[in-house]
Amino acid sequence: MELAHAQELLERIRRNVNEVIVGKRDAIDLILIALISRGHILLEDIPGIGKTTLVSALARSLGLTFRRIQFTPDVMPSDVTGFNLYNQKTAQFAFHPGAIMSQLLLADEINRTSPKTQSSLLEAMQENQVTVDGVTYPLPRPFMVLATQNPIEQVGTYPLPEAQLDRFMLRVSLGYPSLEEEMTIYQRFSARSPLLDLNSVVSVDELFELQDTAERLYCAEAIRRYVALLARATREHKELLLGTSPRGALMLLIAARSHALLQKRDYVLPEDVQQMLHPVLGHRLLLKPEAKLHQVSIPDILAGLLRQVPVPEA
């Protein structure tokens, strides 16, 4: 796919989503980066910001099958992956697909369900398949999980383990709208929801072409070394209990390549890596207890790493 055509498709998706979502250009771009990188998104924000509406608008814009599952303590792994039910007429077990058998899955309030149910997503997010009673079922393509969690409420929640967090390519926060944006929301949603009239503007085949185009973008060896040096710096940082994994570093490189595509370039620059550093690595790093006492934050550490690790020269 030519670069100009890729830009046209991305802009078409942006405009269509903005028919429903007011503002939030940066958040939409991050979700597009994860989409063309074949990654998953962790939406972390307070209720009522529009997370579910954003995911629904994206699914309609792409013409993808969309399922939403509201996670609560009583949700079982079989509700997610599916289960086998005995059919008395055929005297055989028949597989009944769970909510995960869709192209776009919204896992709403994922930290409100038990760790056992959370872990039912691990295989799907890593290998694009689920295994039920020893039988493996492939997931539809493309496949993307957008999980939400509320960072404020802690009662009755189960924090996501590091293995689960590491499977999310990006963490995105929408934030409050500006005064003008909020007034536009009142006007736009006071009657019939614009989401009901939203149509797809990009086909699945065009989305696959976008993903293939991002994969073919040129990335110099110096950029790959820059990512490796940043990853090693997180593992050696004195304030961090846990640095980024090789998978996290690889996702940083892939996200930087997709960011370059959004910036209308067919090659990756150090600026692409720098822009994606916090969205990709911010949720993968763990502070030491003493660092928390000294009020050291992950953004401060990442900003320091960007000053510390030498930037590749042209």
Instruction: Give the pLDDT confidence score for residue 153 in this predicted structure.
Output: 59
Q: Which residues of the chain have pLDDT under 70?
A: 1, 151-156, 314
Contact in structure between 190 and 49 (CB atoms under 8 Å): no
pTM of the entire structure?
Answer: 0.88
Q: What is the pLDDT of residue 314?
A: 64
Would you give the DSSP letter of residue 141? S
The pLDDT value given to residue 288: 86
Q: Strands (DSSP E) along 75-153, which ranges?
A: 82-87, 92-97, 104-108, 129-132, 135-138, 144-149
Query: Cα torsion at 49, 54, 286, 126 (round to 10°)?
Result: 150
Q: Are 69 and 99 in contact (CB under 8 A)?
A: yes
- ∠ CA 254-277-307, rounded to 5°: 130
216 CB-contact burial (10 Å; exposed 0-12 / middle 13-18 / buried 19+): exposed
Return the closest-CA partner of residue 104 out of 62, 149, 160, 50: 62
Q: Look at residue 226 in the predicted model and tell me its pLDDT.
A: 95
Ordered structural domains, the chain, with CATH? 3-207 (3.40.50.300), 217-308 (1.10.8.80)
Given a contact cutoff of 8 angstroms between Cβ atoms, the answer to whether 139 and 101 are in contact is yes
